[in-house]
């Protein structure tokens, strides 16, 4: 196999990050990772990946900056509204039968998905009895998520998504507008715990009833996907639910037999 210098430098960089900072990007897919690192090189004004590596080895702040490029959030509220409609139709009626609920939003990025989930639970009368764990490997994204402040000009799109997801109320009830920003109702956060967690290196959250992990696995190579599915399987309670992103599938995983589709098109599964 012929490896280009870039591929070699990239691998050495990921090994260095893992050894020094315990962030494991070694099994992330090559193409998207390469694109992100090359973008970071330009933005951080490094001549080569090796030069970037030297910087992050000696400057933790440079690593924090690089982390922002390695974990670029691509997200919106009620993204793929039909997914939320499927949760509303198939998952919420079952969750209603439990006295208390644990829900894990894995790879929550800047929080749009977590607030969408909280709103959905609130409308289904389940938020009060829910504990939502929102996890990500990027501390800056988590800080943003904790604040619950989103650009006001995104609200039109989010409102349309919300309505398409079966939202019954006026979406503007959930936020206050100020200074070109939308601040989401703090009451939505009372039952959310934001935590730093890596699907590559960290352990499970026990006894969760629903895990939503969307558009995270597309960046993982097979080995890391399997690790994540293993974590999810172990974390879910008996007959718990798992929701994936629209381009993701459990079909070719060793864990496929352990899950049954609830809504195959919307990627909602249930532990057998």
243-268 residue pLDDT tens: 999 999 999 999 999 999 999 999 99
In this prediction, residue 62 has a pLDDT band, given cuts at 50, 70 and 90, of very high
Q: pTM of the full predicted structure?
A: 0.91
Instruction: Please give the share of the chain, as a percent, with pLDDT higher than 70.
Output: 99
CA 229, CA 44: separation in Å to the nearest integer?
Answer: 34
- Determine the average pLDDT of the residues in 112-132: 98
In this prediction, residue 75 has a pLDDT band, given cuts at 50, 70 and 90, of confident
- Residues with Cβ within 8 Å of 81's Cβ and at least 6 positions away in sequence, in order, are 161, 162, 163, 164, 165, 166
Q: What is the pLDDT of residues 77-118, one digit of tens each?
A: 999 999 999 999 999 999 999 999 999 999 999 999 999 999
Ranking 19-28, 140-149, 191-200 by mean pLDDT, the lowest is 19-28
Name the nearest CA neighbour of 222 among 260, 256, 257, 253.
253
- Determine the average pLDDT of the residues in 69-83: 89
Name the nearest CA neighbour of 110 among 76, 80, 86.
76
User: Please, what's the largest Cα pairwise distance for the chain?
Assistant: 58
Q: What is the pLDDT of residues 197-243, one digit of tens each?
A: 999 999 988 899 999 999 999 889 899 999 999 999 999 999 999 99
């Amino acid at each position: 196999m012929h490896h280009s210098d870039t591929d070699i430098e990239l691998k050495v960089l990921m090994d260095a990050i893992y050894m020094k900072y315990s962030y494991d990007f070694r099994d992330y897919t090559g193409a998207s990772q390469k694109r992100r690192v090359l973008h970071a090189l330009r933005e951080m004004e490094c001549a080569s990946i090796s030069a970037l590596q030297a910087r992050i080895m000696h400057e933790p702040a440079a690593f924090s900056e690089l982390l922002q490029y390695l974990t670029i959030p691509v997200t919106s509220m009620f993204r793929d509204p039909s997914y939320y409609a499927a949760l509303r139709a198939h998952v919420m009626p079952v969750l209603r039968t439990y006295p208390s609920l644990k829900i894990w939003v894995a790879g929550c990025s800047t929080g749009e998905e977590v607030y969408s989930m909280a709103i959905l639970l609130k409308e289904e009368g389940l938020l009060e009895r829910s504990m939502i764990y929102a996890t990500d490997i990027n501390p800056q994204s988590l800080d943003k998520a904790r604040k619950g402040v989103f650009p006001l000009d995104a609200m039109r799109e989010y409102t349309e998504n919300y309505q398409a997801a079966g939202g019954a109320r006026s979406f503007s009830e959930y936020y206050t507008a100020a200074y070109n920003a939308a601040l989401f109702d703090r009451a939505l956060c009372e039952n959310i715990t934001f935590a730093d967690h890596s699907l590559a290196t960290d352990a499970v959250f026990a006894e969760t009833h629903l895990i939503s992990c969307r558009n995270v696995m597309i960046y993982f190579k097979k080995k890391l996907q399997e690790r994540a599915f293993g974590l999810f399987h172990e974390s879910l309670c008996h007959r718990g639910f798992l929701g994936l992103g629209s381009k993701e599938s459990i079909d070719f995983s060793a864990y496929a037999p352990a899950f049954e589709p609830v809504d195959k098109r919307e990627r909602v599964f249930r532990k057998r």
